[in-house]
Amino acid sequence: MKIKTLTLSERLCGLIDRLIELNIKNHLIEEMDAIYIRNRLLALFKEDYYILSCTSKSDAYEVLEQLVEVALEKNLIEGNVPARDRFISGIMDLFLDKPSGVNAKFFSLYNEDPRNATKYFYELSQLSTYIKVKQLAKNNQFNIQSPYGEIQITINLSKPEKDPKQIALERLAPSSNYPMCLLCQENEGYEGTIKHPDRANHRMIRVELNQKSWLMQYSPYLYYNEHCIVLSDTHTPMQITANTFYNLLDFTTQFPHYFIGSNADLPIVGGSILSHEHYQGGNHVFPMDHATTLFEFTLPKYEQIQGKVVNWPLSTIELVSDSVEALAACSHEILELWRDYSDESCDILAYTQDTPHNTITPICKREGDHYVMRLVLRNNRTTEAHPLGIFHPHEDVQHIKKENIGLIEVMGLAILPGRLLTELEDVKKYVVGDVAEVAENHQAWAAQLKDTYTGQDVESYIRQALGDKFVRVLEDAGVYKLDTAGLIGFKRFIETCGGVLES
């Protein structure tokens, strides 16, 4: 029996009907919407023909990719990655409610339980393909053991690399100031360009923190479970102020199942985007959450607060209280003291002439009725010996991680570049003697690993060695080292803050 070859139009009709079927099942639309959506999709494909065709059995991602191929055959789009992504986002936007409708549903569910609201919005962001679920599955994730407990490692393969043609197109494309950056609220529904990611299927939740308007979204390339971004509704630079602590505490009051934190507000120790004030949060347990205690202290001025210093490679003060006012005031006071604090015996200088070096990476979460505020002390001073930063990954670990150590890494989750996956395969071959050399940046490390290799499982051996390097990265970023001099220096600062050390 000869199988009939479907025409392009018949294939298109089958794919459209399959996508509608899947999105009814996923509760993005209702049965009543099917004809309307079908007609809008036919218009998008400039197709005036429709016939009930053989419905595809592909999943949503496969259907969308096949629809892109149809669009290419019909010369509706260009073949570069941004054009393909824009087309998919435009399709999925048809299945989404307007921002007002998404917000109304979110807060209706919030009134039942905040967890129900975030569950709805998280699932919506995945089903709409705004969160790149298919790409995220490519990431290589594992845990390793360290002196500080388990450390989480992700080799990030989800972001597609740009090919030379795309890079050339970006260079030729005109500049635009709209949206001003990737975090501006004007991204919601934005078509996208060769330079700016597509956001047609993007939705944001309006929240009020500390009597100011903010917006919440999820990260398209999740680094951990329910990785959300809370951004200012105005394009203002990152800054850690008294309001920061009230903002973080207010967020965890409204969403007690989520942590939230801010990148530091200075170059080198800050995150990758310092031009727009934002925080990152979510529903994830980080290695830092399991850290033990180095020593405890009390603050007579703040009797409601219990303080401790955490056994963690980055210098971390933890404050616990059920009083928002006390925690916000105390955190701001410590920040202000730290900004002007120098300790030359520990290489800590607050200023070089008028250039400030000290700031904080703050992190907030709830534990029952208590609020937990962690203040990670940061310093971005550079020297000739360490031109990228004294408290930044040193040169001998930069072949693994050279970028800023931001909020996520601070908490013990390594986000490592995708290039490492293939590079580590070469290191494994070198260690077991299958190749004679590796990339120059890994050569010294690989030679050391080969010398200490005793025939164990090479995959586990290399993973642990990679994790050990990341732990060194974190130790380099700590302003007070966990040796005798460092602990004495840290205690000196705690006493400067009015802390009374517990014996």
| Per-residue pLDDT tens digits for 61-98 | 999 999 999 999 999 999 988 999 999 999 999 999 99
Of 146, 251, 156, 228, the residue nearest 474 (C-alpha): 146
Of 462, 470, 450, the residue nearest 399 (C-alpha): 470
Q: Give one DSSP letter per residue of 38-89, joined into a string.
A: HHHHHHHTT-------------HHHHHHHHHHHHHHTT-S-SSHHHHHHHHH
Are 405 and 266 a contacting pair, CB within 8 Å? no
- Residue 60: pLDDT above 60? yes
User: Terminus-to-terminus CA distance in the chain, angstroms?
Assistant: 87
- Output the pLDDT for position 160: 60
Q: How many CB atoms lie within 10 A of CB 155?
A: 20
Q: Distance (Å, rounded) from C-alpha 492 to C-alpha 487?
A: 8
Alpha-carbon torsion (408, 410, 412, 418), positive or negative: positive
- Output the pLDDT for position 2: 57
Torsion of CA 311, 297, 491, 248, to 10 degrees: 70
- Output the pLDDT for position 172: 62
What b/e sequence results for 127-142 when a residue is b if at least 16 CB atoms lie within 10 Å of its CB, and e otherwise? bbbbbbeebbeebeee
- CA-derived radius of gyration, the chain: 26
Min mean pLDDT across 262-271, 465-474, 490-499 is at: 262-271
Are 499 and 299 a contacting pair, CB within 8 Å? yes
Classify residue 167 as exposed, middle or buried by CB count within 10 Å of its CB (0-12, 13-18, 19+). exposed
| More confident of the two residues 248 and 167 | 248
- Residue 104: pLDDT above 80? yes
Give the containing element (helix H, strand E) for 450: helix 440-452
Tell me the H-state helices in 295-432: 324-339, 407-410, 419-432
Are 236 and 214 a contacting pair, CB within 8 Å? no
φ and ψ at residue 258, rounded to 5 degrees: -110, 140
∠ CA 461-466-469 to the nearest 5 degrees? 130
Amino acid code (one letter) for 438: V
Q: Is the peptide bond before 179 cis (omega within 30 degrees of 0)?
A: yes
- pLDDT, one tens digit per residue, over 137-152 is 899 999 999 999 999 9
- Average pLDDT, rounded, for the chain: 94
- pLDDT, one tens digit per residue, over 311-370 is 999 999 999 999 999 999 999 999 999 999 999 999 999 999 999 999 999 999 999 999
- pLDDT, one tens digit per residue, over 385-412 is 999 999 999 999 999 998 899 999 999 9
The structure tokens 């529904």 sit at 189
- Residue 3: pLDDT above 90? no
Of 435, 438, 454, the residue nearest 446 (C-alpha): 438
Q: 25: which residues sit within 8 A by CB, 6+ positions away?
A: none
Cross-strand bridge partners of residue 368: none
Q: Give one DSSP letter per residue of 215-235, joined into a string.
A: EEEE-SS-SSTT-EEEEESS-
DSSP state of 283: S
Q: What's the predicted TM-score (pTM) here?
A: 0.94
Mean pLDDT of 473-493: 97
Positions of E strands within 174-282: 205-209, 212-218, 228-232, 259-261, 278-282
